[in-house]
Structure 1
Amino acid sequence: MSTPTLFVEVHILQSLPPSNVNRDDSGTPKQAVYGGARRARVSSQAWKRATRTEYARHVPAADRATRTKRIATLLTSRLARPAAEGGTGLTDEQAGRLAAALLEPLGVTKSAKKEDQSAYLLFFGKKQLDALVQLLDGRAAEFAALSDDDLKNEVKKLSVVQTLSTGHPAEVALFGRMVADLPALNVDAAVQVAHALSTHAVRTEFDYYTAVDDENTDDHGAGMIGTVEFNSSTLYRYAVLGVHQLRDNLTDTEETRSTAVRFIDAFARSMPTGHQNSFAHRTLPHLVLLTVRTDQPVNLVSAYEEPVTGITGLASESVVRLADELKSVGETWGNKPLRTLATYTSEGDKITEVFGSSLAFPALLDSVDALVEEWLTRGEITPAETPEAGTR
């Protein structure tokens, strides 16, 4: 018997003004050819980073995760704190030596270029560092007094790998972790994020700018001259959350439910920050569409294989295209979503028929909360029967 699965898909249509939110190595806004037309593109990595940053803003600092090459420095700092503050009271030198020994079972070796950094980035929770300190069980001074060989042997008796393999913070549970040299530390991601693509063809433009030297009274020339590339676009964004995988990663149903809702909130509100001071491109979506499935996820980017031309507006036409695609895929493949929830600003009978009535975004999150709770409790979702739930 197969393990029950629950996928909550997030489809977003969002318009960006002139901006360069995600650039390549030459400073050009990232692009891709799709359907024979050049599209604006924002990489999945950029939007995952933005989502994780937005998510962390609403999480207590102690419960957050970090991805860094400086785990040795952070652990040394933890160990060197006074015992009253959760540390061991060791000197910085002793703490650094003990931290290196604790991290050795993880294969965390020093970078060839920078002594204070490891050779690779490691994604972990702040509380997991505290758990490493607690493994010492008040014996930090005893460990610090050991010879290198004896210290190595004593550390082998501690469950260092197990400590970093459990108790994952929500961010690690959502986005996963891959450590090639130590598969025991791997965490399967509960979230997959697609590259955002414009629903239409785009053309890169150039902003020629000058900066004035305020103290220059000798001539009228510019203090600096430069150019920055940009485009504007209506983007289709897609992510899918495997609630079953999230539950397995967190091992707590209440935390699974709250994390699922907070992820959707963060993904909808997030924005990559490339050239943000120059373009102030902070916008909110025209449409947030959630489709709930138990069979398989379906990215609906095929709605835009033929580029939108924008005769009546790129955003409005893109919403209609998405409604058509969702309906067509459901009828053709026979796998209509169990539930459809949406927040949108567009109007039209077709949109309401396919997506259901528009919900205020807080109400949409409440609905997701109830759906996830139902699945976690009962192991299934009751199929909707009303137009408001998007079944017509």
Structure 2
Amino acid sequence: MSDKRTIIEIHALETAAGNLNRDDTGSPKTMEYGGYTRARVSSQAWKRPTREAFRNLLDPKDLGVRTKRVVEVLSGRILERRPDLDASLAVKLAETVLKDGAGIKLDKPRAKKNAETDDALQQSKYLLFMGNRQYDRLADIVVDNLDQEDPVKAIKSKKKTIKQIVSNDHAVDVLLFGRMVADDTDLNVDATAQVAHAISVQAVDSESDFFTAVDDVKQDSDEEGDAGAAMIGQVEFNAATYYRYANVDADRLNDAIGDAAATAKAVAVFVQAFLTSMPQGKINTFAQGTLPDLVVINVRDTQAVNLVGAFERPVEPDYIQHATEALVRREQEFDAAYGITPLHTWVVRVGDDTAAADELAERTSMREMLSEVESFVAERLGDRLPEQE
């Protein structure tokens, strides 16, 4: 195996106004950085819309399902193959596969208040992230053993095969974001992508939006003594230019997928999904569907480098212009000081305020960048396929 590394970095500056990611009090999340309060969007809040964007970019078979309702999902796959099978038997066999075969701990969910019956299916004790292909393969094992004298016993005898299917999960999103199973570390999958919390490049104070909700019928009544207000309230929000950062270790991803072309496609899809996705918090109120003003993609063979230190001192208006200049200066200084100049850099930008990024690379479009990133990664990984080692 070559010791060359292929790490793809994503740096982006994006402006949004709203309450993208709120804390337990309903306020936009913040953090102290450089002695100033910054707007913050947690990595988890951006990972989910990124993963949801995969649905429009990849074959669903290459993706995973993150749920506690594993028995429901697997029994459903079994019934898709054998619709004539009794549903209760499909559930029993699904439980056998998951509990006795894969070693996943199952438990009855808490009964709903005032429920007349407790017919809820067992669930895993934790959210389990598992690929659609794995569910399909597990369902096939059940169907293949239905004609046995004792299907339950037959399935239990396939424990090694079942464990291997679940352990060797090649779903793209599972490989990118990882899976942790505290009860059985053999089922853990190390994430090949890292996503940082997005923070504002400037100091930010939250605003409060006072609102009223009008009762349409009350408003039309001549007998009422007001304008029809039926409810009042307030919602906190802020406006910020965020520095967003993520990276993908293409080598580790390729180790799991085993195909350079497929790995390169997965990398390009991750880049696209991360850049074009947006957390949905209060989206109907603020419609925060923005896109980055600046995108810098680096491929390094040294190590991943987060450039957030460019904003340790808050930038002043104009935020995009000054943030771009700070980001470019930070990368150039790091490259000169540590000898970590990227193998290749792409710049996608909008407007004159991002012109300083042309010092890093020639300006290109998102479509061209994604195509070239995929080709670059595929070519770089191509000499490291298992059969060529």
Does the TM-score normalized on the shorter chain lie above 0.5?
yes
Tell me, yes or no, if the aligned pair for 2:141 and 2:155 is still in contact at 8 Å.
no
Runs of 4+ off more than 3 Å: 60-63, 150-156, 346-350
Secondary structure of the residue aligned to 2:40 is: strand
Tell me, yes or no, if the aligned pair for 1:316 and 1:346 is still in contact at 8 Å.
no
Partner of 2:104: 107
1:154 Cα shift? Answer: 3.2
- 1:262 equivalent in alignment to 2:269: yes
1:164 Cα shift? Answer: 1.3
Spell out the pairing of 1:205-244 with structure 2 (5 A cutoff).
205-216=207-218, 217=221, 218-219=223-224, 220-244=227-251
Partner of 1:13: 13
Tell me, yes or no, if the aligned pair for 1:323 and 1:350 is still in contact at 8 Å.
no
1:245 Cα shift? Answer: 1.1
Separation in 2 of the partners of 1:120 and 1:62? 23
CA deviation string 1:193-213 (max 9, x = no partner):
000000000001100001111
Partner of 1:388: none
Separation in 2 of the partners of 1:208 and 1:72? 45
Partner of 2:115: none
The code of the aligned residue for 1:26 comes to T
Partner of 2:29: 30
1:152 Cα shift? Answer: 7.1
- 1:118 equivalent in alignment to 2:120: no
User: CA 1:189–1:13 in structure 2 vs 1: closer, same or farther (change >3 Å)?
Assistant: same
Separation in 2 of the partners of 1:317 and 1:234? 11
1:166 Cα shift? Answer: 2.4
Tell me, yes or no, if the aligned pair for 2:320 and 2:353 is still in contact at 8 Å.
no
Separation in 2 of the partners of 1:153 and 1:294? 46
CA deviation string 1:317-347 (max 9, x = no partner):
1111101111111112222112111101244
Partner of 1:382: none
1:351 Cα shift? Answer: 2.1
Partner of 2:282: 275
Separation in 2 of the partners of 1:94 and 1:111? 17
The code of the aligned residue for 1:252 comes to D
Q: Which runs of 5+ in 1 are unaligned?
A: 380-392
1:106 Cα shift? Answer: 2.6
Secondary structure of the residue aligned to 2:216 is: coil
Taking structure 1 as the reference length, the TM-score comes to 0.89
User: CA 1:352–1:196 in structure 2 vs 1: closer, same or farther (change >3 Å)?
Assistant: closer
Tell me, yes or no, if the aligned pair for 1:8 and 1:293 is still in contact at 8 Å.
yes
Tell me, yes or no, if the aligned pair for 2:195 and 2:247 is still in contact at 8 Å.
yes
Partner of 1:385: none
The code of the aligned residue for 2:85 comes to L
Secondary structure of the residue aligned to 2:208 is: strand
Separation in 1 of the partners of 2:59 and 2:357? 39
Q: Which runs of 5+ in 2 are unaligned?
A: 112-119, 385-389
The code of the aligned residue for 1:228 comes to V
1:304 Cα shift? Answer: 0.1
Partner of 1:66: 65
Tell me, yes or no, if the aligned pair for 1:69 and 1:119 is still in contact at 8 Å.
yes
Tell me, yes or no, if the aligned pair for 1:72 and 1:103 is still in contact at 8 Å.
yes
CA deviation string 1:284-310 (max 9, x = no partner):
101110111111111000000000121
Separation in 2 of the partners of 1:324 and 1:199? 15
CA deviation string 1:11-31 (max 9, x = no partner):
0000012x0010001100000
Partner of 2:157: 154
Partner of 2:304: 297
Separation in 1 of the partners of 2:154 and 2:43? 43
Taking structure 2 as the reference length, the TM-score comes to 0.89
